């Protein structure tokens, strides 16, 4: 029997019968609702970025901050991977650090190296003086970008909005940039528990307002990036982070906004992290998918979990790795294929294309075996 292989068509040539009537029928949104899909949906964190030739061509002409703040460029860059690969969701081109600016924290993206914050939060008074972002006034360029993208892809593929989680944002705000051991962050957390609590509350309010504004502007699912939370012990996660995540994710659920709760290095935190909420929990590659599924007791689905470095190897290798992940998912509804973290800049574009096609192809075969 001929199975319709969605991976065979670039999106813009999708046969009429293959476009979704509404985004609610898309396999990505269905997976967020833990419904059966024709094949496993796939997208990639950092799918718009330096590994793409089309991105580098724009990047040559503009600074990163100018790109983030120009809604036409935001829309163009967001759509670059969508036009190139058979992926099941678009994610708005923005950065988790942008909301910090409106709170009074100056961020800079230097030409080389990670982002830098010149006035890091180090004292209680620094936390007290932080403003709460008004997403419409402060982050209008992200919202306008979402409106432009949504009008372009509506009925084709869904659009993901996102924000950093309070812990991961706090780690940048306190350290002043990236960190390897989160020494200043943890010290602040342990020594100033009240100021920490206030910081988490202020960040949570900003994040929630921003995510709701993104949904009003056209985002259909939101992902919360708690990329660095895996540096915490389960006890510290439970005490210093869990209540804030739970509040944000509960509120999203109350508003019927599907959410993905993503972190890395979270194998030891998974039961708690899942309990904090999220329709889907994102996992990296340091845990096997079936084991992760056993740790998650909330009925949430899972997004992940291929090592991004696998994409540097020949196609036969990463296809084998992807097949192992799909075999472990074993057709459970609610699996969204992704890498365990963002695509690395040196990844060959052809490999990303081959992987997306393969995910659709192989998972459709598994599904058809199941139904016969």
Is 172 a known active-site residue? yes
Place of tokens 């290095």: 265
Q: Which of 9, 14, 33, 50 is catalytic?
A: 50
The smaller minimum CB distance to ligand CP3, of residues 64 and 366, is found at 64
**304 in contact with ligand CP3 (CB under 6 A):** no
**222 in contact with ligand CP3 (CB under 6 A):** no
**231 in contact with ligand CP3 (CB under 6 A):** no
Place of tokens 């600074």: 63
| Bridge partners, 336 (sequence order) | 303
**178 in contact with ligand CP3 (CB under 6 A):** yes
**209 in contact with ligand CP3 (CB under 6 A):** no
- Minimum CB distance to ligand CP3, residue 89 (Å): 10
For residue 323, what are its two tokens?
């097949």
- Sign of the C-alpha dihedral computed for residues 23, 226, 180 and 177 taken in this order: positive
In the complex, residue closest to ligand CP3 by CB: 227
For residue 70, what are its two tokens?
């120009």
**364 in contact with ligand CP3 (CB under 6 A):** no
**97 in contact with ligand CP3 (CB under 6 A):** yes
**117 in contact with ligand CP3 (CB under 6 A):** no
| Bridge partners, 222 (sequence order) | 161, 259
3-state secondary structure of 45: coil
The smaller minimum CB distance to ligand CP3, of residues 207 and 364, is found at 207
- Going by their DSSP bridges, the two strands 90-91 and 159-164 should be labelled as parallel
- Going by their DSSP bridges, the two strands 116-117 and 159-164 should be labelled as unpaired
Site for ligand CP3 in 312-331 (CB under 6 A): none
Residue 261 to residues 22, 132, 334, 338: CA-CA distances in angstroms?
Answer: 24, 23, 13, 13
**59 in contact with ligand CP3 (CB under 6 A):** yes
Q: At what angle do helices 71-84 and 140-153 cross, to 10 degrees?
A: 40
The secondary structure of residue 258, as a DSSP letter, is -
Site for ligand CP3 in 135-164 (CB under 6 A): 162
Residue 40 to residues 26, 49, 90, 215, 359: CA-CA distances in angstroms?
Answer: 11, 23, 16, 24, 7
**284 in contact with ligand CP3 (CB under 6 A):** no
**45 in contact with ligand CP3 (CB under 6 A):** yes
Pick from 300, 303, 273, 271: which is nearest to 285 by CA? 303
Pick from 307, 337, 329, 280: which is nearest to 6 by CA? 337
Size of the site for ligand CP3 (CB under 6 A): 21
The smaller minimum CB distance to ligand CP3, of residues 86 and 364, is found at 86
**42 in contact with ligand CP3 (CB under 6 A):** no
**174 in contact with ligand CP3 (CB under 6 A):** no
Interface stretch with ligand CP3, choices 13-21, 45-53, 277-285, 328-336 (CB under 6 A): 45-53
Catalytic residues: 46, 50, 59, 95, 172
The footprint of ligand CP3 (CB under 6 A) covers: 45-50, 59, 64, 91, 93, 95-97, 109, 114-115, 162, 178, 225, 227, 342
């Amino acid at each position: 029997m001929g199975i319709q292989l969605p991976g065979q068509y670039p999106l813009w040539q999708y046969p009429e019968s293959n476009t979704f009537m509404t985004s609610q029928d898309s396999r990505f949104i269905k997976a967020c609702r833990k419904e059966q899909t024709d094949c496993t949906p796939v997208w990639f964190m950092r799918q718009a970025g330096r590994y793409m030739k089309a991105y580098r061509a724009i990047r040559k002409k503009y600074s990163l901050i100018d790109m983030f703040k120009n809604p036409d460029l935001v829309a163009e860059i967001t759509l670059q991977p969508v036009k190139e690969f058979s992926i099941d969701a678009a994610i708005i081109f923005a950065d988790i650090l942008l909301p910090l600016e409106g709170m009074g924290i100056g961020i800079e993206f230097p030409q080389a190296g990670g982002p830098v914050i010149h006035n890091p939060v180090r004292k209680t008074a620094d936390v007290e003086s932080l403003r709460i972002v008004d997403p419409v006034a402060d982050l209008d360029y992200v919202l306008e970008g979402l409106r432009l993208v949504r009008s372009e892809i509506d009925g084709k593929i869904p659009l993901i909005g996102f924000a950093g989680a309070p812990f991961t944002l706090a780690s940048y705000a306190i350290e002043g940039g990236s960190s390897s051991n989160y020494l200043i962050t943890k010290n602040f957390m342990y020594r100033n528990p009240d100021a920490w609590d206030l910081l988490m509350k202020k960040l949570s309010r900003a994040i929630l307002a921003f995510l709701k504004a993104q949904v009003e502007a056209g985002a259909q699912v939101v992902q919360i990036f708690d990329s660095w939370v895996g540096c915490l012990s389960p006890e510290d996660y439970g005490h210093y982070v869990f209540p804030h995540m739970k509040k944000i994710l509960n509120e999203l659920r109350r508003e019927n906004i599907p959410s993905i709760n993503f972190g890395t290095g979270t194998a030891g935190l998974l039961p708690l992290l899942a309990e904090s909420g999220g329709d889907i929990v994102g996992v990296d590659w340091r845990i096997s998918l079936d084991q992760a599924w056993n740790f998650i007791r909330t009925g949430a689905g899972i997004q992940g979990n291929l090592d991004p470095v696998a994409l540097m190897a020949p196609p036969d290798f990463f296809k084998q790795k992807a097949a192992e992940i799909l075999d472990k998912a074993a057709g459970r509804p609610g699996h969204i294929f992704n890498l365990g973290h963002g695509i690395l800049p040196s990844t060959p574009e052809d490999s990303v294309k081959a992987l997306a096609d393969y995910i659709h192809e192989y998972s459709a075969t598994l599904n058809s075996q199941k139904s016969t």
